[in-house]
Chain A
Amino acid sequence: MASAAAYIRLQHFYALLEAKRNPNLRQQPFVVIDGSRIIDVSPEAAKFHITTAMSIRQARLTCPTLQVVEAEADPLPAAERFWDTCASFSPLVEPEGHSSAFVGLSVQGNLKAAGERLMRRLALKLAVPFYLSIAPNKLTAKIAYLEAADLPLSVSGEKHLTWNQGRGQSSAPLKLNDKEKPAVNSRCLIIFPESVEDFLAPLSVNRLWLWPDKVHQQLQNLGIYTIGQLRQVPRLELERLFGETGKALYDAARGIDPAPVKGLYPPKAVQGYFQLPPETDGCRTWDALVKYLLPVLEHCTQELQRLSQACTRLRLWVEYENLEGKCWDKQLKNELQTADQLLLSVKGLLDQDWPAPITGMRLMLMGLKPAALGQLTLASYLKPQRQRKLEQLLPSLQARFGADRVFTASELSIPRRERMLQLLPGFGDYPIPVLGR
């Protein structure tokens, strides 16, 4: 087996979301803006060569009938469906944005065949056009995407490309049946491990997306314009010029990226559920429901407290008798950590009349963040328990308030006054009046 990284990016994601929300936009050239910046263009606007790099004025000049739409649709539900699709291929899914993700692949046999299989499955599962690039690591996979995205549209039937050597050499279209063909303009680009260096050599150093433009500019000021030229620079020289970044640039020029694809999706969550047996009547009243719901909530809150976390997002699935289930997804204003708080939130969601008796419920506590627990709750514990509890809590408190603000007494190795002088700049600059000699 060999590991590979796939980079998948949906095209026109925000534009299609807005078109779904407002059907009048379908088949129209329009751009989606966030403030004064274009964040996406519709497929029809893309035909006019309008890109996200343009200003609104430039875009309007290019296409006089262009509509400008403020981004209003919530992208998260659609993004989660996309990430769920990715998660069905691999447990290693690292979302990059709402419309893009890295997927860690474990490839058995031929990489090209694996790429074709992945392309087919994606084409069946995703309703929107997408880019897929596969390479030995994340760095090369995203560079491959950037290259594929810059390619001019080719004629129909030649839009699904695989590259196995260098830029445009030995490219061959993937063979897909008509049924399996993805939406127009979906593209696949595979960089084989043995051809990574050849692929990267002619590309501009601007393609090294892991580093900011400032580094690209510095490289160009030194006369290094392509990744191939960067490869010629000795390691020590790069280290002298760029420090730690120089070491990473040396590796990147050879297509080496040690960062693995992390399994960040689905995010960590605490879950609990109940489901009544088929022969049991469903819950018709809130009191009847609480009998089943309360143990679930207590289990969830115990788990939250064990992890020293609080939840900021609540997802609730409810199953009704002989009816389709319903799902709520709520971003919470306040952090929740106790069963009472959760019960109130669930009651708030189920406030309306129920269409049928409830037969099951699944609760997912998401958006976990370190909980802010008061010091007073610790005071009631006996000393060893308190210390153990404090050791458990300390990392989360430091994550929340900063390690320089939360520390234990044993870390105080300097006298209190000196520490105060360090913490409060300006304090101690003035002579302290001495009273009563």
Chain B
Amino acid sequence: MTHRVNAPIRVICRGKQPVAFSWGGRLYTIVQVIDSWKEMGEWWEKAPEITVYQVMTDDQGLYELHYQAVGRWILYKIYD
């Protein structure tokens, strides 16, 4: 099951990989990047390319983060 959040978050990266993010006043440490891929929307409408990360945090939570090419991170959804 998923719960859509779609909220901007702050992310700490090592290289290009996210290693932690803060949301709701709490810091979540990423223990595993399960999968990642790039998605391009309607490019002729100038929709930005996003990189999707499915991650597992230290509290066993499963999250989907989106990185937009403009440098913005979004917590897109929580698998709960």
**Residues of chain A having any CB pair with chain B under 8 Å:** 1-3, 88-92, 104-108, 114, 117-118, 121, 263, 277-278
Indicate if B50 sits at the interface (CB-CB under 8 A): no
Complex partner residue of A1 from B34, B64, B80, CB under 8 angstroms: B80
**Cβ-closest chain A residue relative to B38:** A271
Q: Please indicate the chain B residues that have their CB under 8 angstroms from the CB of A89 in the complex.
A: 1-2, 79
Chain B contacts of A3 at CB under 8 A? Answer: 60
* A residues near B35, Cβ cutoff 8 Å: 91, 263
Chain B nearest CB from A232 CB (Å) reads 31
Q: When A89-B2, A114-B1 are in contact, do A106 and B34 touch as well, CB less than 8 Å? A: no
Q: Which residues of A lie under 8 Å from residue B30 when comparing CB positions? A: none
Q: Which of B44, B61, B64, B80 has the most CB of A within 10 A?
A: B80
Residues of chain A within 8 A (CB-CB) of B60 are 1-3, 106
Name B residues whose Cβ lies closer than 8 Å to a Cβ of A: 1-2, 34-35, 44, 54, 56, 59-62, 64, 78-80
Q: Report the minimal beta-carbon distance from A415 to chain B, rounded to whole angstroms.
A: 45
A-B contact count (CB 8 A): 43
Kindly state the separation between the CA atoms of A104 and B60 in the bound complex, as whole angstroms: 10
Given that A91-B54, A114-B80, A263-B35 are known contacts, is A106 also in contact with B62, CB under 8 Å in the complex? Answer: yes
Also in contact, A121 and B1, with CB within 8 A (given A90-B62, A106-B79): yes
- Residues on the B chain within 8 Å of A91, using CB: 34-35, 54, 62, 64, 79
B44 touches A90 (CB 8 A): no
Question: Given B34, B78, B80, which contacts A92 in the complex, CB threshold below 8 Å?
Answer: B34
Chain A residues with Cβ below 8 Å from B64 are 91
For B61, what are the chain A residues with a Cβ–Cβ distance below 8 Å? 1, 106, 108
Inter-chain CA distance A107–B1, complex, in Å, is 10
Chain B residues near A104: list those with CB within 8 A.
62
Q: In the complex the two chains form, is B34's CB within 8 Å of A118's CB?
A: no
In the complex the two chains form, is A1's CB within 8 Å of B59's CB? yes
Q: How far is the CA of A91 from the CA of B1 in the complex (A)?
A: 10
* Closest residue of A by beta carbon distance from B80: A108
Which A residues lie within 8 Å of B1 (CB)?
A: 89, 114, 117-118, 121
